[in-house]
Amino acid sequence: MEIPPVIKNQKMLLFAISIASFMSALDSSIVNIALPTISTSFDVSTGLVSWVSTMYLLVLTSCLMIFGKLSDRIGFRQIFLAGFLVFAAGSLFCALSPSFLILVGSRAVQAVGGAMLGAISMAMVSVFLPPGDRAKAIGFVVTMSSLGVAAGPFLGGILTEMLSWHWIFLINVPVGILACILGAAVIPSLPAREKTESFDSLGALYLFAMLGAFIYALNMGISLGFTSAPIIAAFVICIAGAVLFVRQERSAPDPLLDLQLYRKRDFLFANVGAMLMMFAYCGSNFLLPFFLEYVQGMSTMVAGLYLTVPSVTLMLGGTMSGSLYHRFGPRKLCVGASAIYLLSFLLLSTFGVATSTLLIITTLALLGFGLGLYYSPNTSEIMCLAPREKQGMVSSLATTERNAGATVGIVIFELAFIQSLITISSMKGLTEGSLATQPQLVEALLASAFDIAFFVGAIVAFVVIILSFFTHDPENVEECDGEEAGMMA
């Protein structure tokens, strides 16, 4: 890809990119709160209605790298603008769905649009904005994404309660169209890369099969059982897809994923660190509502208010990280952020029935702040280590890895909690009968199981600290523009 022209209206360009991040994040969290209403509306079971969320995650994760690679070939502008239109169209189809099956299919269309937007947001920041502004810009995009996650349940609840569940999708239509118009005005057209080789269609097929089967197996494994025939079949497809994908990428003239990138230690460690951070964050966020309600005895509304704390401090950390990046450099910032993250999980692993409100709020604040502080320097480093002509590929790769980390984290934390519950009960000789007559014992048992699960997060955070010590510090953070990638071993 050619050197991009100077962008006159950089703030509006960043605003357009941030809208994409906000919409994608909002849609990942706004739907869940409306699932009970959707279940009643279409008269489907709780297990079946979960496919409204599962289908979106499955298609989104499977398509990210495909569109990242396409953006490197045909240009960011085309993929980005098409993403807004497809996302808006998918949202309209969801809102007008006459049946549950059509709703699930429409979510797949919506996810394709989300993948177009999510695949290249960070690449556009890296390519179109000056090196000195990138860390702050990435921090702002992270902040907007966090705002979308935080606003989703609240906005979804209001729209569903006051209007109907259809409006959680309809709200995307005018926003998507307006964002497309804005993007058309401010996103420059770059000359398409010369296509000397054909698109890696086989690689895309194998990748879609691998990730689709993987997401399905993890999302449905606990409900169906990990030893059930459908889940075993999904894992077999995933492994076969992975083997075929790696073989294809090694031999393809223009691979979907350049495996040589992983030969750079800095690049490998930065990507693994980001994936582990999301693993721990989403895993803990999955368990926290249950801890607050079952152990602390909070109502659903109060627990929801508590869980806005890490979202708010994540935004704060993302906002601050841009300025701190230029002061301390990525290595010190990543180490410090992951140390804060470790502290939050160590505190979480001590929680019990008598834990004070102040300690809970402080811990949740540290959890979000550590993640927000980490992602700007981490993402800046990943994009810095990528050659300019592979920015779309690397941006989509990072997003795919984080989505995969989030999915695995939820499953592992849930399994750690369940297994701890079984093990502790067995060691203490507790039975259903004895627990039924001793509610205080139940609370203590649950607290112990939650603590063990949260300690998994502490182990993960410690690993991230070690990886962060290997973070590449460019000689001048103002000058990292992706060209360094070709000079680093």
Q: pLDDT of 187-220, one tens digit each?
A: 777 655 555 667 777 878 888 888 888 878 877 7
Give the pLDDT of residue 197: 64
How far apart are the C-alpha atoms of 89 and 177, rounded to whole Å? 9
DSSP state of 4: P
Question: What pLDDT is attached to residue 276?
Answer: 93
Structure confidence by residue, pLDDT tens digits, 434-445: 555 556 666 778
Residue spans of alpha helices (H) in 225-292? 229-251, 265-290
Q: What mean pLDDT value characterizes the chain? A: 80
| Per-residue pLDDT reduced to its tens digit, 38-97 | 888 888 776 677 778 778 887 888 888 788 878 777 777 888 888 889 999 999 999 998
Q: In whole angstroms, what is the distance from residue 122 CA to residue 113 CA?
A: 16
Question: pLDDT tens digits, residue range 226-254?
Answer: 888 888 999 999 999 889 988 888 887 77
Could you tell me the sign of the dihedral formed by the alpha carbons of 169, 173, 179, 184, in that order? positive
CA gap 293, 181 in Å, rounded: 44
User: Looking at residue 232, what is its pLDDT?
Assistant: 92
410 CB-side CA count, 13 A: 16
Read off the pLDDT of residues 124-168 as tens digits, 9 standing for 90 and up: 877 777 766 777 777 777 777 777 777 777 777 778 778 888 888
pLDDT of residue 364: 93
Report the alpha-carbon distance of residue 319 to residue 326 in Å, rounded: 13
pTM, to two decimals: 0.79
Q: Indicate the CATH number of 258-489 among 3.40.710.10, 1.20.140.10, 1.20.1250.20, 1.10.287.610.
A: 1.20.1250.20
Nearby residues of 410 by Cβ (< 8 Å), 6 or more positions away? 218, 282, 283, 286
| Max CA distance (Å), the chain | 73
Q: What pLDDT does 2 receive? A: 46
Rounded to an integer, what is the distance from CA 441 to the centroid of its chain?
36
CATH number of 1-187: 1.20.1250.20
Give kind and range of the element (H or E) at residue 114. Answer: helix 100-128
pLDDT digits (tens, 9 = 90+) for 101-135: 899 899 999 989 888 887 777 778 777 777 667 77
Give the separation between CA 29 and CA 398, rounded to whole angstroms: 20
> In this structure, what is the dihedral angle of CA atoms 119, 122, 126, 129, given to the nearest 10 degrees?
120
Residue 336 has pLDDT above 80, yes or no: yes
Asked whether residue 295 carries a pLDDT value surpassing 70, the answer given is: yes
Secondary structure letter of residue 37 according to DSSP: H
Residue pLDDT, tens place only, 420-471: 888 777 766 555 555 555 566 667 788 888 889 899 999 999 999 999 888 7
Angle at 232 between CA 226 and CA 238, to 5 degrees: 115
Helix residue ranges, H only, 349-431:
357-384, 391-427
> SS3 for 7?
coil
Task: Indicate the residue type of 45.
Answer: S
Residue 24 has pLDDT above 50, yes or no: yes
Q: Which residues of 162-179 are buried (b: 16+ CB within 10 A; e: fewer)?
A: eeebbbbbbbbbebbeeb
In Å, how far are 122, 315, 356, 488 from 382, measured between CA atoms? 10, 20, 39, 13
Tell me what pLDDT residue 335 has: 92
pLDDT band at 487 (very low <50, low <70, confident <90, very high): very low
DSSP 183-241: HHHHSPP-PPPP--S---HHHHHHHHHHHHHHHHHHHHHHHH-TTSHHHHHHHHHHHHH
